[in-house]
A and B are shown apart, each in its own frame.
Chain A
Amino acid sequence: MSTVLQLKNITKTYGDMRALNGIDLALPGDAYISLLGPSGSGKTTLLRVIAGFEHPDGGAILFDGKRIDTVPPHKRGIGFVFQNFALFPHLSVAQNIAFGLENRDVDPVADRRLVDTRVRDIISLVGLSGLEGRAVTQISGGQRQRVALARTLVTEPRMVLLDEPLGALDANLRARMRAELRAIRERCGVTFLHVTGSEAEALAMGDTVLVLESGRIAQSADSDTVYNRPASPAVARFLNCYNLFPGRIEGGVFVGGSGQFALGSATPSRAASPAYAIRYDRVSVRPREAAIAEDEIRIEANFVASEYSGAAVNSFFALDDGRVFEVESHLSHAAPETYAEQGRYALVWKREDALVYA
């Protein structure tokens, strides 16, 4: 796979705020890439810089091997799908989709029949057949999403940027559009860069997942690696499935405010500040008097509340220093246990399951 887009040390500052703090990135062609970041991490800024709506303060953007920093957005050949879809309200579905072909500066298509053919093809590709003549104000959110996508795809960009494309849809539709988006991308064979604040969406959709943290790429890997081996405590925190403890390492033992944890055999990953992470679903809850095996770590905590989500139940415990500890139990393995309110329990996990950052 060849590199389509390359960013070299891109910086962008708004006043005192560093929105992008030296982004280095190389995106392959024909791939689905998701970019995960919490709000304020600079993900929309990064997308707008790539599209050309914002100018970076420093660094270089290479698209197909050519520098495009100074090229205006309408000559970049990069498609952009807006979060609010930004459809032209006075045009019909077909007119919205035909807009780029008819009105672009570079190589506009003047032949009416050719435009019609290509619009019809793309309409059937995204599944909008029968709605060609409708006003864009008369169709549903999911259909508007498809119009926005079709409008971009019909111009045959080498790459499509999607800014939280599913954010404006309701949960049911969001799940369906995920599969749909991946299928559409495979049929077109272009690179999609999908920005999202939802870790589930990023992991489910991306062939490669990029994690953006305070203006930098904190990790770039496939979903499985990002989920199981987050590159830093910050990435682990975004994933929303790790209990994190700050502290320090002293002679093979991690010393944190909540206790001392013996380390496993794995060498700690490098990070700015030491931290200890254990995944929610790697912890088991036991009565206080139960014995533990030699390779297990145990702390005590008070049960606070639990949240039932169908396939799993998440239980919240308060540690002695006030910190909240979350445990996820999958109900396919066992019936949900009921814990006594404010009852004291032992939380136990295997030494090798923990991730340690130093």
Chain B
Amino acid sequence: MSMMAVAEQTETETVAEKKSPGKALWLLAPGVIWMSLFLVLPMLMMVYVSFWTQTTFTIEPTLTLKSWVTFFTSDTYLGALWTTVRIWLIVLVATVLVGYPAALFVGLFVKNKALQTVLLVLCVIPFWTSFLIRVLAWRPMLGKEGAINMILMNLGITDAPIEVLLFSELSVIIGMTQIYCVFMVGPIAFMLGRIDTSIIEAAQDLGAGFWRIFRTIILPLSMPGVVVGAIFVSVMVLGEFATSAALSGRKVNLLGNIIVTQVGSLKWAFAAVAGVVLTILMGAVVAALLRVVDLRKEL
């Protein structure tokens, strides 16, 4: 008797469960329509165009692998792909090295929630200045006769200006690290802020010193923040073209820069090939990062 009642109850529950998602699906409609029209379709279009035939001035919808073959046999394009991967890795490591300690301070050592918020907002301030002004500001700082070289020479640390500071790979890395660091600090500080202080006190009470606690408790508990930050930074750095153009004097060519140039010279098929390669690369990077930590467990 009671078992039947239970069975009946479960049945009604499943019916209720089946009903509601059907109705709720309508909520997704605007997003799905918008994204199919302006994201999925254009991307499929891009894949399609990458197989079109490119001549010097025109492009015809005759399918061919020529653009793909050209991309993977040309030193320029493969070089750009390698530069993109290299700069991405260096910037990723640099943002973690600069961002993690800052996040550790904000998330763990600042106890006051209001002050925490103020400090995180401070991290975002570089974002309030426009890109153009930031680039303009870097040049007098990093240039041959810029502030850093002047100071180093006046202090007698160097005799000649360090030329590598501007219009080089290094300047691109400095610039990108500065811009994207905040995307690393935010998620990590958030995860660190969620760690209960009594957990750290418990580890202390059990006899562990600070570095032990950091390695065994704080770092593992903040890993989801690092992964989310790394996804933000990776997606943005991999698609970058403006910072590299402005700070490298066109010496550093990322895949993004190749796309911009190809589109500029109406080489749509090549641009599409580079675009598809870049999209696949981003997808692979995000998928790999998501494997590091099970984010579902954290949210």
Contacts and interface: CB of A to CB of B under 8 A. Distances in A.
A in complex with B? yes
A186 to B, nearest CB: 23
A83 to B, nearest CB: 8
A72 B208 CA distance: 11
A84 B201 CA distance: 12
Contacts of A155: 206-207
Contacts of B217: 88
Nearest to B210: A74
B113 interface: no
Nearest to B208: A103
B62 interface: no
Nearest to A76: B205
A80 B221 contact: no
A51 B205 CA distance: 7
Contact of A99 (B198, B203, B209): B203
Contacts of A78: 205
B206 A86 contact: no
A202 to B, nearest CB: 23
Contact of B206 (A53, A72, A103): A103
B221 A99 contact: no
Contacts, number: 69
B220 to A, nearest CB: 5
Interface string A46-74: 00000101000000000000000000111
Interface string A83-104: 0101111100000000110011
A74 B198 contact: no
B250 interface: no
Contacts of A72: 204
Contact of A86 (B199, B208, B212): B199
Contact of B204 (A73, A88, A89): A73
A104 B206 contact: yes
Interface string B202-229: 1111111100110011001100000000
B199 A151 contact: no
Interface string A297-322: 00000000000000000000000000
A98 to B, nearest CB: 10
Contacts of B216: 99, 103
Size bin of chain A's contact surface: 20 to 34
A105 B207 contact: yes
Nearest to A79: B205
Given A53-B201, A84-B196, A84-B198, A90 B221 contact: yes
B206 A152 contact: yes
Contacts of B206: 74, 79, 99-100, 103-104, 151-152, 155
Given A84-B198, A86-B198, A90-B221, A106 B207 contact: yes
Nearest to B198: A86
B299 to A, nearest CB: 14
Contacts of B202: 80, 82, 86-88, 151
Centre residue among B202, B217, B220 by max chain A CB count within 10 A: B202
Given A53-B201, A103-B216, A74 B196 contact: no
Nearest to B195: A89
B191 to A, nearest CB: 12
Contacts of A90: 220-221
Contacts of B208: 74, 99-100, 103-105
Contact of A82 (B198, B212, B221): B198
B207 A74 contact: yes
Contacts of B196: 84, 86
Given A51-B205, A53-B201, A80-B201, A103 B212 contact: yes
A89 B201 contact: no
B112 to A, nearest CB: 15
A75 interface: yes
Contacts of A80: 201-202, 205
Contacts of A73: 201, 204-205
24 contacts: A51-B205, A74-B205, A78-B205, A79-B205, A80-B201, A80-B202, A86-B198, A86-B201, A88-B199, A89-B199, A89-B221, A90-B221, A99-B216, A100-B206, A100-B207, A100-B208, A103-B207, A103-B216, A105-B207, A105-B212, A151-B202, A152-B205, A155-B206, A155-B207
The 10 residue pairs across chains A and B that have the minimum distance between CB atoms: A104-B207, A100-B206, A86-B198, A86-B202, A103-B208, A80-B205, A105-B209, A73-B204, A103-B212, A74-B204
Given A75-B207, A82-B201, A86-B202, 7 more contacts: A51-B205, A74-B206, A84-B198, A103-B208, A105-B212, A152-B205, A152-B206
